[in-house]
A and B are shown apart, each in its own frame.
Chain A
Amino acid sequence: MSAEPIRMKTPAEEGFPAVFDAAAAGLPGTPDIAAARRAAIALVRDEGLPHRRIEAYHYTDLRALVRSVPPLAIFAADATGAALTDAATVIGFTNGRLTKTPEALPAGVILQSFVEAASAGSITLPTPAGLADSVSSLNTAFASDGAMLYVAPAGDAAAVIELQSAVVGGGQAHLAHRVTVAAGAKLLLIDRTSGPADTDYLASGSLTLVVEDGAEVTLVRLQREGDKATRFDRLDISLGEGSKIALHSVSLGAKLWRFEIGLSITGDDAEAQLFGAGLLQGRQHGDTTLFVDHAALRGTSKETFKSVATDEAKAVFQGKILVRPGAQKTDGKMMANALLLSERAEFMTKPELEIFADDVACGHGATCGEIDENHLFYLMARGVPKPVAEQLLIAAFVEEVFDDVPDEALKAALAAEVDGWLAGRAAG
C-alpha cells in the first residue's frame, strides 16, 4: 500500500458524516436506498470535500468555502407562500419535508412524495463516483423528501406547478425531485427556494427531469436563499425525440451556491434553451457548472448565462458541450456574460467544447465587462440619476434570461425580484 499523506479534515468534512450517523436511521427508504446513502457519505468520509485540484471544483473550493455543517433541520410547520403566478399549483416543502399538498393537481399530473416512493423502493438514488459528484453525494446521503411527478398529456395548455422549498430556523434541508413529462405532454414547472436571513444553514436540491418524446417543458428557477446560506443544486435533464426544454433560472441568494446542470440530449431533433442569471453581492460566491451532452441527431442547445457581481463577490461559470460521435447536425451555442460592478468583484469562466462529429455547428463565447460609460452618460444626460441609470442598465443586461417566460405574471415576478435586488444594492 502506498502511504497516503495524512491531511487534517476540515470541520465540515468531519461534520457531514457525523450528521449522517446521527440522522441515518430517520431518513426514508428501503435497505437499498439506505445502502446508497451510506455509499454516498462514505465518499465524503473517505475523501472529504472537493477542492481546487479537482477540476470540476477548481474555482469553488468547498474545503475552504464550507466552514461548518449544521444538523438536519427540525420538522416545522408549513412556511411556503403563494405561487409566483396564479396559474400555478403549489407543492410546498419546509425544512426538507412535504408540508403543502395541493387539494387538486392539474389534469394529467400525478404526485407521489419522495418519502412514499423511497419507502416503496420505487426509485433508486444515484451512486456518485467521485469528488466531482459531491453535490449529488450530499443530496443522495441526506435527501429527506421531494416531489415525484408524472405529467401525462392533457390538452394544449401546459400544466403549471410550483415546487417551493422553505427553510425556517436553520439546519440542513435536502430535497430530491423527479419529474417525468410523458410523450406529448406540456409542463411549466417553477422551482423556488428560500430561507431565513442571517442564518448559517445548508440546503440542497436535486431535480431530475425526464422529457419524453415530443414533450415540452419550461422550467423557471428562483433561488432566494438567505444571505448566509449554502445552497447546492443539481439539475439533470434528459430530452427525448423532438422534445423541448426552456430553462430560466435566477439566483439571488445564498452566501455560497453551486448550480450544476447536466443536459443530456438522447432523442433526435430535441431543442434546449437554457438561460441563467446569477446576481452576487457582498462576499457571495456563485458557481454555475453546465454539461451538455449531445448524443442524438440535429439537437439544438443554446445556453446563455449571465453574472452580475458587485462588492467582493465571485461568479463562476464552467460550461462544457460534448458532441458524441454520430450526433450530426448538432447546433450548440454557449455564451457566458458577466457584468462586474466593482473592482474587487470577479468572474471566472471555463468554456469547453469536445466534438466527435464532423457536421456540427458549435460555439462558445464569454464576455466580461463593466457598465458601458456611454450608455450611462446617455441616460444621465436625460436626467436619470446614476444609481437609477445603473439599475436600468443592469436590469437590461439580465432581462434576456426571462424575456421568453411564457406566463406574464411569472415574468413580471422575476423582473420584480431582480429590481428588488438592484434597489437593495443601490440602497447599500
Chain B
Amino acid sequence: MLEIKNLHARIAEDGTEILNGIDLVVKPGEVHAIMGPNGSGKSTLSYVLSGKDDYEVTEGDILFNGESILELGPDERAAAGFFLAFQYPIEIPGVATMTFLKAAINAQRKARGESEITTPDFMRLVKETSAKLNISSDMLKRPLNVGFSGGEKKRNEIMQMALLQPKLCILDETDSGLDIDALKVVSEGVNALRSPDRAFIVITHYQRLLDHIVPDVVHVLSKGRIVKTGGPELALELEKNGYADFVDVAA
C-alpha cells in the first residue's frame, strides 16, 4: 500500500535536513507504530506524507499503491485516501465545524466521481459518528476546534477520520492529551476502522496506546532515520529501557 524509499526531506525555508533516508513498507491491514525521541522527525514524516509544502523532498520517493505521490497536493493525497490526525489540531475561527465536515466529505466524493452527500444523510452520519466518540452536538456547533480542550480536539480528529474513511491513517500522538476514558473511546474508534484494506501509522511515545491499538510492527525513529524495527515487544522494551540502546543519546 505505502512504500517509502530512501526518503530525505528538509525544511523548505532554511534547508535544514530533517529526514535522512527513511525506508518503510506498510501493507494493507497493517498497523505500524513509530516511536522515537522528541525532535527525531516523526511529525515531519507525517507532514511530508501529507504533502505540507513547508518541506522539500530532496531524495527518494513515496509510493502509494505503486505510484509516486510526490507531485500531488495535500487535497489530492487526501482524496487518494491519506489521512493525518494532527499532533496539534489547529483552531480555525469562523469556519463552522459542520460546514467544514460537509466540504471535506463532498470534496473527496467529488474527487472520486461520486455525487454530493444529501443533507439528511450527512446529518445522520455525523450524528452517529460523533456519538461514538462522545462529541456533543454543542461542540459540532462551534467553529472548527475553537475553544475545544486538547482531548476534544483529538477526538474531533478521529471523528473526521471515521467520517472520511481513509485508506492510510496517520495518527500523530493522538494519545497525548487524552484522559484514560477518552483514550479508550479513541482506541475503540480506531479499532472499529481497522480492516484488511486499511493501514495505520501510529506515532506515539507511550506503550499504553499500543495496549489498545496493537501494532504489527514497531519502528524507532532517530535523527530522521529508522534505527530499529521489531514486533510489539519492542515497544515494551522501550518503555522499560528508554531509547538509550538504540539511539546515540549522548550526541
Point out residues on A near B: beta carbons under 8 Å: 373-375, 377-386, 388-389, 392-393, 395-397, 399-400
Contact = CB atoms under 8 A, between A and B. Distances in A.
Contacts of A396: 92-95, 143
B238 to A, nearest CB: 29
B69 interface: no
Given A374-B90, A392-B103, A382 B78 contact: yes
Contacts of B82: 381
Closest 5 CB pairs of A and B: A396-B94, A383-B78, A382-B104, A380-B74, A383-B108
A310 to B, nearest CB: 18
Q: Tell which of A380, A388, A400 has the most Cβ of chain B within 10 Å.
A: A380
Nearest to A378: B90
Q: What is the predominant secondary structure among interface residues of chain A facing chain B?
A: helix
A396 B100 CA distance: 11
A315 to B, nearest CB: 19
Contacts of A389: 75
A84 to B, nearest CB: 21
B105 to A, nearest CB: 8
B103 A384 contact: yes
Contacts of B93: 396
B99 A392 contact: yes
Nearest to A396: B94
Contacts of B104: 379, 382-384
B108 to A, nearest CB: 4
B49 to A, nearest CB: 10
B94 A377 contact: no
Interface string B62-98: 0000000000011101110011101001101111000
A385 B111 CA distance: 9
Given A378-B86, A383-B104, A384-B104, A392 B79 contact: no
Interface string B103-124: 1100110010000000000000
Interface in B38-77: 50-54, 73-75, 77
Contact of B100 (A379, A386, A400): A379
Nearest to A395: B94
Contact of A399 (B54, B94, B108, B111): B94
Contacts of A392: 95, 99-100, 103
